[in-house]
């Protein structure tokens, strides 16, 4: 009798992993799943909550040790007002948007063509080109920015948006090409063969068969590329010095921090508004973003 129960309870513990977790009792699930997950979510999300609170607090509340700091007692938009009307923040937002959109678009065009050539045309040496694209993907911006600064300087692009538009594709193209190569691989060859037999040219095949089928892949690559450009830091920090051409991350870091007195309210408001566009885009295309991220790792 007692032997039977202990064997069963052992089985119950064993089933804890996944497939049979309906056998696990509720209190146990609370301790092993919900509690740790709750802690994870709290830690991962707290900085965002704190950003919002700080951006809405008046200065007296920010710099006071009295009261409960986790809540805003008299919310104010004065920091947001200062950010939008007394700084070049709207310019930075516009620059970031412009640079990200154009760099993403250029990269997507170049990447689709390259991925199609490598994956489908299978020209001589395609495999080596594919391999070098992967290697290019692994070159980090922090070892490229110094010589790139020299190149940008020589091209007389220093302190222009064009410098960013032309350099961002160096990390976007390898990523997008790699992702799209994986995506194109999943489109059946037979479709192309049928079209070839029916007398379609390669260009027609690309435009009328491959591209429409690759739309989800293009969205994944586009979303990911856009957020990568939006978040870029080191190139913009190195190549840009005038306030009116700065991007949001650079502007916030270099211009809202004045001397030893930090204006935490506007800083946080700036961080918040600079994050919102990518968060919004992400929330609309979560699945595409995740498949882009995991796809690039899995392929």
In the range 40-99, which residues lie near another protein by CB under 8 A?
A: 40-41, 43-45, 47-48, 50-51, 54, 62-63, 65, 69-70
Taking CB under 8 A as the rule, does residue 211 contact another protein? no
Residue span binding another protein (CB under 8 A) among the ranges 77-85, 86-94, 173-181, 210-218: 173-181
- Partnered with residue 257 across adjacent β-strands are 262
Using CB under 8 A as the binding rule, the residues of this chain from 231 to 250 that contact another protein are 231, 233-234, 237-238, 248-250
- Rounded to 10 degrees, the C-alpha dihedral 155/160/166/171 comes to 120
Considering the complex, what minimum distance in angstroms separates the CB of residue 157 from another protein?
11
Report the residue from 240, 268, 288, 292 that binds another protein according to the rule CB under 8 A.
268
Applying CB under 8 A, which part among 79-87, 144-152, 186-194, 210-218 lies near another protein? 144-152
Site for another protein in 181-210 (CB under 8 A): 201-203
Residue 175 and residue 56: Cα distance in Å, rounded?
38
- 25 touches another protein by CB under 8 A: no
| Long-range contact pairs involving 46-49 (C-beta distance under 8 Å, separation at least 24) | 48/275
Residue found by looking up tokens 């110094």 in the block: 146
| Residue span 108-127 as binding mask against another protein, x where in contact by CB under 8 A, dash where not | -xxx-xx-xxx--xxxx-x-
**Cα–Cα dist 50/28, whole Å:** 32
> Is 237 within 8 Å of 167 (Cβ atoms)?
no
CB of 9 to another protein, least distance (A): 12
Report residue 131 as tokens.
Answer: 């391999």
**Contact residues for 26 (Cβ-Cβ < 8 A; gap 6+):** none
């Amino acid at each position: 009798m007692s032997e039977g129960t202990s064997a069963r309870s052992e089985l119950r513990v064993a089933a804890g992993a996944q497939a049979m977790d309906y056998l696990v009792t509720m209190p146990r699930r609370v301790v092993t799943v919900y509690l740790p997950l709750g802690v994870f979510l709290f830690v991962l999300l707290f900085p965002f909550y704190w950003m919002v609170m700080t951006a809405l607090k008046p200065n007296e509340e920010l710099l006071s040790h009295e009261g409960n700091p986790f809540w805003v007692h008299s919310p104010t938009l004065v920091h947001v007002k200062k950010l939008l009307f007394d700084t070049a923040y709207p310019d930075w937002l516009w620059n970031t948007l412009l640079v990200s959109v154009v760099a993403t678009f250029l990269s997507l065009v170049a990447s689709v063509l390259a991925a199609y050539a490598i994956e489908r045309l299978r020209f001589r040496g395609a495999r080596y080109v594919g391999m070098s694209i992967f290697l290019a993907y692994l070159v980090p911006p922090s070892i490229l920015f110094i010589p790139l600064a020299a190149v940008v300087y020589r091209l007389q692009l220093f302190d222009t948006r064009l410098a960013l538009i032309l350099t961002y594709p160096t990390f976007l193209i390898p990523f997008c090409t790699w992702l799209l190569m994986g995506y194109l691989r999943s489109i059946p060859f037979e479709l192309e063969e049928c079209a070839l037999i029916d007398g379609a040219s390669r260009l027609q095949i690309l435009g009328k068969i491959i591209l429409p089928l690759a739309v989800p892949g293009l969205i994944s690559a586009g979303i990911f590329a856009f957020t990568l450009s939006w978040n870029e830091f080191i190139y913009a920090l190195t190549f840009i010095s005038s306030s009116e051409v700065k991007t949001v991350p650079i502007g916030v870091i270099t211009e809202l921090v004045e001397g030893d007195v930090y204006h935490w309210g506007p800083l946080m408001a700036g961080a918040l508004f600079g994050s919102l566009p990518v968060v919004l885009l992400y929330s609309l295309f979560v699945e595409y973003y995740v498949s882009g991220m995991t796809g690039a790792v899995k392929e």
